[in-house]
Structure 1
Amino acid sequence: MAYFDMVVEALLGPDGMMYVAGAAGLLLIVLSLPMVMRKRVDPLDRLREDRGSESHEENVERLSKHGASNEFLTKYAAYLEPEDEDELSKTRMMLVRAGYGGRDAVRTLNAAQMVLGLGLLTIGVFYVLVLAPGMSPVNMFLYSVVPGLVGYYAPKYWLQKRVAKRQEEIQDGFPDSLDLLLVCVEAGQSLDQSIIRMATEIEPSYPALAQEFLLVSHEMKAGKDKGDVLRAMAERCDLQDITSFVTVLIQSQSFGTSIADALRVYAAEMRDKRVMRAEEKANVLPTKLTVGTMMFCVPPLLIILIGPSIFGISQSLGGGGGSF
């Protein structure tokens, strides 16, 4: 350090250290000036700018469940949506009952029908013309047109199966949900809080039913009329048990009767109906087993018992001269 002081004093004179300190200070100021002048952006301001730069349609697409494919489907919306309002409404309701309530569900279904239909039709035509030429007209029609028809109607068939499976799940879990709802109501909670708590508890076992009840609670929180919300739920589920449940709640609200008493009676009725459905399935089981037994057990048994006799008779009548 003393050597450095001696060098500075020899070069700059007795006040050399002051010059060095001043130069170092100016250098630090020059280096820190851009950082000081740069304005720190508030995260909220940045979020407002990002939202302002996006259009309303882009915001809707970004918040949608299937936002990644919305832009592509929107380009062909005129070809992927039915022009008939009744048909569009029926298709959308079927998709909602299957658990697909997104705004692009109808477009996705029609796109799947078109892709599968045209794809299988192309494969069938390629097989007929290239891989197996020289077929008869009937075989050409079967191997080319039938796969296209199967590909076109397969998504709707799968959707109907999905609706039936979802309705069965809702019907199986409905008695348990009523019991939980009754417990929550009798514990002093309001109907809205009871629905939320019940839906949270049954979600691992019956996610479809929990989704419907959570949607009801969210719509009630949004300020919609309770009767309209419950009727919409009954229309989405399309089950007689849910429709009767909605009627019970609406009548209890209209006449001012106790919801707990109505739920207690209706929950007991739903438990009895579940036992009756189980007994019905048990009573049908012997008939189904009889059909299977007749198809797979009786023919081999007849072959074992009657086969030798038929063989001996055929040998005797054929002049074989031998006996079995």
Structure 2
Amino acid sequence: MSADAVRAQIEALLPAVLNSPLMLAAALLACLVTVGSIWVAFVERDPLPGRLKAIEARRSQLRSQALAARRRAGRTEEPGLMRKVVGHLKLLRSQAATAAQGKLLRAGWRSRDALVRFLFAKAISPIAAGGIAALLFYGLDLFHLSALGKLAGSTGFTLFGAYLPDLYVHNAFQKRSQALRLALPDGFDLLVICAEAGLSLDAALERVSREIAEAAPELADELGLTAVELSFLPERTKALENLAERVPLAGMRALINTLVQTERYGTPLSQSLRVLSAELRTERMMKAEEKAARLPVTLTLPMVLFIMPSLFIVLIGPAILRTIDALSRL
């Protein structure tokens, strides 16, 4: 079949194809897709409703999680040995329990069980330490001390047992404070970014807590809890004051004052946070320089006690030995 014959058959079938309903539907669909693409490309969309909807959904999720945790905490089982002892001694109603609760909050332990364990250890550790001392000094008589020495050793052990829980909590608080102090500048930088992006305060704190959860879990925990409290408490400044109470650092206090001022007067947040971040980084550098400057003074005592005597023995020892030999021959 020649090319002219093929062309003639195609020209004969073309009107039938173009007039078919399928072809008309395809052409109509192509026109609709083209118009829709042009409409989507040139119409400006407002992202604010979607952002507000996402923030509200996240707030509802945090509220449900907090309520579920509170319900789980309320459905406790029968009190254990520690709770029975603390309840029998009525230690939870004392002023020492309130002070201990503040210490545990600053150390990162917020549950009521932590307070019960601390009070139980506070009550039992002197008795345990005194019993161990009596066994060592009076029962086994390991060190063969006099009566006064045994009494002094037992008293020292008992006092050490009484202060051991406080020392443990204080050590945990110092480690947590150091971790928070190192993480604050990075957290401030992320807060600056979130504030410049248009996020609200509670949304910014929640986003920063998620971003730094792996690098700085202590700061992420505190910021996440503050974001939840901002959604729950009727006074937002109360949530910020709780954060300042849990983290007694100068940098955190400056942040709280800035946030309270922003909430009250509507001052710009990003510029203040940027200045605070720069100040914290400068303070951290100054502390590192201070430690480096104190290093020679710190090394002086070990050098005098351990290095200088060995050096004197090596340098002066042979001369002293020769002098002793010479004097012995006389």
Alpha-carbon distance between aligned partners in 2 of 1:148 and 1:265, rounded to the nearest angstrom: 50
For 1:169, the equivalent position in structure 2 comes to 179
Letter in 1 for 2:158: G
For 1:36, the equivalent position in structure 2 comes to none
Alpha-carbon distance between aligned partners in 1 of 2:73 and 2:133, rounded to the nearest angstrom: 37
Alpha-carbon distance between aligned partners in 1 of 2:105 and 2:272, rounded to the nearest angstrom: 29
* Post-superposition offset of 1:84: 4.1
Which of structures 1 and 2 has the larger relative contact order (alpha carbons within 8 angstroms, sep 6+)?
2
* Post-superposition offset of 1:175: 0.3
For 2:49, the equivalent position in structure 1 comes to none
Letter in 2 for 1:292: P
197-206 or 289-298, which deviates more: 289-298
For 1:306, the equivalent position in structure 2 comes to 316
Letter in 2 for 1:74: R
166-175 or 283-292, which deviates more: 283-292
What pairs with 1:45-60 in structure 2 (closer than 5 Å)? none
For 2:278, the equivalent position in structure 1 comes to 268
Check conservation: 1:65, 1:102, Cα contact below 8 A. Answer: no
Cα pair distance change 1:193/1:253, threshold 3 Å: same
Q: How far does the alpha carbon of each residue in 1:136-181 deviate from its partner, in whole angstroms, 9 at most, with x for none?
A: 1122214433222222211111111111111111111000000011
Residue 112 of structure 2 aligns to a residue whose secondary structure is coil
For 1:243, the equivalent position in structure 2 comes to 253
Q: Indicate the RMSD between aligned Cα atoms, in angstroms.
A: 2.8
Alpha-carbon distance between aligned partners in 2 of 1:207 and 1:257, rounded to the nearest angstrom: 30
For 2:244, the equivalent position in structure 1 comes to 234
For 2:18, the equivalent position in structure 1 comes to none
1:124 to 108, 133, 148: 133
For 2:113, the equivalent position in structure 1 comes to 104
Q: Could you tell me the percent identity over the aligned residues? A: 30
For 2:197, the equivalent position in structure 1 comes to 187
Gaps of 5+ in 1: 1-58
When normalised by structure 1's length, the TM-score is 0.72
The answer to whether structure 1 residue 73 and structure 2 residue 73 are counterparts is: no
Alpha-carbon distance between aligned partners in 2 of 1:84 and 1:302, rounded to the nearest angstrom: 61
Alpha-carbon distance between aligned partners in 2 of 1:127 and 1:282, rounded to the nearest angstrom: 44
Check conservation: 2:107, 2:172, Cα contact below 8 A. Answer: yes
For 2:97, the equivalent position in structure 1 comes to 88
Q: How far does the alpha carbon of each residue in 1:218-256 deviate from its partner, in whole angstroms, 9 at most, with x for none?
A: 111113322111111111111111111100111122221
Letter in 1 for 2:255: F
60-69 or 223-232, which deviates more: 60-69
When normalised by structure 2's length, the TM-score is 0.71
Letter in 1 for 2:190: L
Alpha-carbon distance between aligned partners in 2 of 1:293 and 1:224, rounded to the nearest angstrom: 61
Alpha-carbon distance between aligned partners in 2 of 1:186 and 1:108, rounded to the nearest angstrom: 44
Alpha-carbon distance between aligned partners in 2 of 1:187 and 1:61, rounded to the nearest angstrom: 33
Alpha-carbon distance between aligned partners in 2 of 1:187 and 1:208, rounded to the nearest angstrom: 25
Gaps of 5+ in 2: 1-67
The number of aligned residues is: 261
Residue 329 of structure 2 aligns to a residue whose secondary structure is coil
Residue 251 of structure 1 aligns to a residue whose secondary structure is helix
Residue 215 of structure 2 aligns to a residue whose secondary structure is coil
Cα pair distance change 1:160/1:292, threshold 3 Å: same
Check conservation: 2:233, 2:239, Cα contact below 8 A. Answer: no
